[in-house]
């Protein structure tokens, strides 16, 4: 059973897919070509391995001790996020030499597993880049085999939920709002993880509406609201008119 289900999570009906290579970011080998989110490195979930974080609206989190191998698509369908034509299921974990094979076969790490629907061409290009295939490479320069070896796959939602990325994680009441070029990642903590969601509509009006809905459920005026990522200052200013304790944090 997914964390979304356990926490009675909400999700808008419309889901976007990764477009071209806009749906991923890199940290480590190749960082800077698509803009790193600050995940990975020696202190990150990848344990020092090059890390790819897929920016996908179709993302669910599953407790690692309840995740069943080969069930990735079922978890997405259960959450109303069935992969579309041209998308494949990718699960967080280590891939590459001695690592996992296809997108649902990585070596798992951590207490939570992220299951994502990713554009098939994007996943294939990532595999070719790190595993030394014949692809053109992420920047189109023909260096597809330049960074051969193991790599770690994750999601911004997983990184934030597990205490990396934005957030103080001091055990209090806290909402982390992280905006990317495609989506909004939202994590609520109150004596532990209470909600982890991806909002595919990143407009300020939609986010404000969603936060107001959450406010009635969680009494957000008593929470610290941390905003990071793209347009963080703009969004924080709007949220600050309705909620207290809103601040911009580096991500």
If one compares 223 and 43, the residue with the highest pLDDT of the two is 223
Give backbone dihedrals phi and psi of 192, rounded to 5 degrees, phi first.
115, 175
Residue 174: predicted pLDDT: 92
**What is the number of domains present in the chain?**
2
Range of the domain at 145: 3-159
Asked if 13 and 136 sit in the same domain, the reply is: yes
pTM for the full model? 0.77
d(CA 178, CA 165): 9
> Of the candidates 156, 161, 182, which has an alpha carbon nearest to the alpha carbon of residue 3?
161
Final residue before a domain boundary, out of 141, 159, 177: 159
Q: What CATH number does the domain containing 169 carry? A: 3.30.420.260
203: number of Cβ within 10 Å = 10
Residue 185: predicted pLDDT: 93
Asked if 69 and 123 sit in the same domain, the reply is: yes
If one compares 148 and 5, the residue with the highest pLDDT of the two is 148
d(CA 221, CA 13): 27
d(CA 163, CA 166): 8
| Non-local CB neighbours of 104 within 8 Å, separated by 6+ positions | 69, 70, 72, 73, 89, 90, 91
Asked if 108 and 95 sit in the same domain, the reply is: yes
Asked if 226 and 122 sit in the same domain, the reply is: no
Final residue before a domain boundary, out of 133, 159, 185: 159
Asked if 120 and 235 sit in the same domain, the reply is: no
Residue 127: predicted pLDDT: 87
d(CA 186, CA 22): 20
Handedness of CA 234, 154, 31, 88 (dihedral sign): negative
Asked if 177 and 154 sit in the same domain, the reply is: no
Asked if 44 and 147 sit in the same domain, the reply is: yes
Asked if 149 and 177 sit in the same domain, the reply is: no
DSSP label at residue 184:
E
Structure tokens at 124: 């294939």
> Of the candidates 45, 26, 46, which has an alpha carbon nearest to the alpha carbon of residue 37?
26
How far, in whole angstroms, is CA 228 from its chain's centroid? 14
pLDDT digits (tens, 9 = 90+) for 56-98: 999 999 999 899 888 999 999 998 999 999 999 999 998 886 5
Give backbone dihedrals phi and psi of 159, rounded to 5 degrees, phi first.
-60, -45
Query: Is there a domain that residue 249 lies in?
Result: no
Tokens 């703009």: give the residue. Answer: 234
Query: Is there a domain that residue 250 lies in?
Result: no
| Lowest-confidence region among 90-94, 142-146, 245-249 | 142-146
d(CA 116, CA 131): 21
């Amino acid at each position: 059973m997914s964390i979304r289900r356990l926490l009675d999570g909400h999700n808008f009906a419309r889901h976007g897919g990764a477009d071209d290579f806009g749906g991923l970011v890199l940290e480590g080998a190749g960082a800077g070509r698509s803009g790193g989110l600050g995940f990975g490195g020696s202190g990150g979930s990848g344990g020092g391995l090059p890390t790819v974080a897929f920016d996908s609206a179709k993302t669910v989190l599953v407790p690692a001790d309840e995740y069943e191998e080969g069930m990735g698509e079922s978890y997405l369908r259960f959450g109303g996020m069935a992969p579309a034509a041209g998308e494949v299921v990718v699960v967080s974990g280590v891939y590459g030499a001695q690592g996992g094979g296809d997108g649902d076969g990585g070596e798992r790490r951590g207490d939570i597993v992220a299951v994502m629907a990713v554009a098939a061409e994007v996943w294939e290009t990532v595999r070719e880049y790190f595993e030394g295939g014949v692809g053109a490479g992420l920047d189109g320069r023909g260096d597809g085999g330049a960074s051969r070896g193991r790599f770690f796959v994750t999601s911004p939602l997983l990184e934030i939920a597990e205490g990396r990325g934005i957030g103080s994680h001091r055990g209090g009441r806290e909402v982390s709002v992280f905006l990317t070029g495609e989506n909004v990642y939202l994590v609520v903590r109150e004596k532990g993880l209470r909600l982890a969601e991806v909002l595919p509509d990143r407009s300020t009006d939609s986010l404000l509406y969603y936060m107001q809905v959450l406010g009635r459920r969680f009494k957000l005026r008593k929470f610290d609201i941390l905003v990071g990522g793209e347009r963080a200052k703009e969004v924080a200013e709007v949220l600050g008119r309705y909620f207290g304790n809103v601040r911009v944090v580096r991500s």
